[in-house]
Amino acid sequence: MIEFVRRPAAREREHEMRDRRQTRYFITGGAGFIGSTLADRLLAEGAGVVAYDNFSTGQPEFVEEARRHPSYSLVEGDVLDEGALEAAMRGCDTVVHLAANADIRFGLEHPRRDLEQNTLATFHVLEAMRENGISRIAFASSAAALGEPSVFPTPEDCPLPIQTSLYGASKMACEGLISSYCEGFGFEGYVFRFVSLLGERYPHGHVIDFCKSLRKDPTTLRILGDGTQRKSYLHVQDCISAMLRVVNRRTALETEHRVDVYHLGYPEFIELKDSVRWICERLGVTPRLEYTGGSRGWVGDSPFVFLDVSKIRRTGWEPVHTIRDSIFATVDWLVENPWLMERR
């Protein structure tokens, strides 16, 4: 009899897929840009999904297809509603906490919002997990939590930053809460610090702002700062691939404190001027560019964002989309879906 020996890589992929099929994910912000895209990926791979969203920024159109899937349920609720959150989470075994106030630019106009919708909301999520006996959490932090670091590319173990935005400060506080629950209650935590994400369903940021402005007036484009701000970007699908790769391998269980931090971004950066040029090229316009001046677009806008992604790359992950391709994909989707620009 001939015995076929399965290669380790194939066996590992089979194990990951089997674990995913047996997992029921609870996604806060499940109708948002990242959450709805993650839900679609998980459903396609055989997992169950409970999406939780208050639709303050989430869009019903983003979850239309998912709602037809038998392994998907959508609960309209707020992460600040402790009772509703705890009830909706029952029966799940992994939480992906994406819900947050992502308004960095205007944070100083409503300083309590970051505290409530980011930090306090994360505490509610952790407590709801504890009440439901759920111990595994993946959390969407941000490169903004690093303030303005002095080391580039910036590694996960960079010095504790000086915060420059209320949003970044609230995200770092969330990281502290999660790591404390991992240490104190035996949780298993995964913290992902993202650069800005791009791709289909992209709801806010400079690409949609520029597209909306140029749609209204293709002759002139006003740009905050001097255009030399250096940033890295990542396609949302590449981000999700990295997250699931880590969570399904359960790398946090191999760490001393049961929490693992990963930087997620593209291993290159561009200047804002490059992004402006590509957006205009894709739209077929040649506007007059007006710069407001200075190295920052607003208070808390870090002039250089470039994360060291060597740790996630050591797992075998590599981004599929270049920054240029990601910008083109975002512009193309916005042109095909102008309702989102009209709604904002």
Q: Mind listing the pLDDT tens digit for each residue in 183-230? A: 999 999 999 999 999 999 999 999 999 999 999 999 999 999 999 999
7 band by pLDDT with thresholds 50, 70 and 90: very low
Q: Is the pLDDT of residue 9 over 70?
A: no
Q: Which of 130, 144, 304 is nearest to 229 (CA)?
A: 304
pLDDT over 60 (residue 19): no
The separation between the first and the last C-alpha atoms of the chain, rounded to the nearest angstrom, is 65
Model confidence band, residue 11 (pLDDT cutoffs 50, 70, 90): very low
- Whether the CB-CB separation of 31 and 54 falls below 8 Å is answered with no
Task: Pull the structure tokens for residue 269.
Answer: 């950066």
- What residue has token string 């075998």? 316
CATH topology match: 8-197+233-264 vs 206-231+267-305+317-343: no
Please check the confidence at residue 14 and state whether its pLDDT lies above 90. Answer: no
Domain ranges of the chain: 8-197+233-264, 206-231+267-305+317-343
Asked whether the predicted pLDDT for residue 149 surpasses 60, the reply is yes
Correct CATH for 206-231+267-305+317-343 of 3.20.20.70, 3.60.110.10, 1.10.260.40, 3.90.25.10: 3.90.25.10
C-alpha torsion angle, residues 201, 241, 55, 43 (rounded to 10): 100
Shortest CA distance to 31 belongs to which of 82, 73, 2?
Answer: 73
Which CATH fold topology does 8-197+233-264 show? Rossmann fold (3.40.50)
Is the peptide bond prior to 267 cis by the omega test (within 30 degrees of 0)? no
pLDDT surpasses 90 at 279: yes
pLDDT score of 22: 66
pLDDT-derived band at 104, boundaries 50, 70, 90: confident
Q: Report in angstroms the alpha-carbon separations of 202 from 46, 233, 240, 248, 328.
A: 25, 12, 14, 26, 12
pLDDT in tens, 64-79: 999 999 999 999 999 9
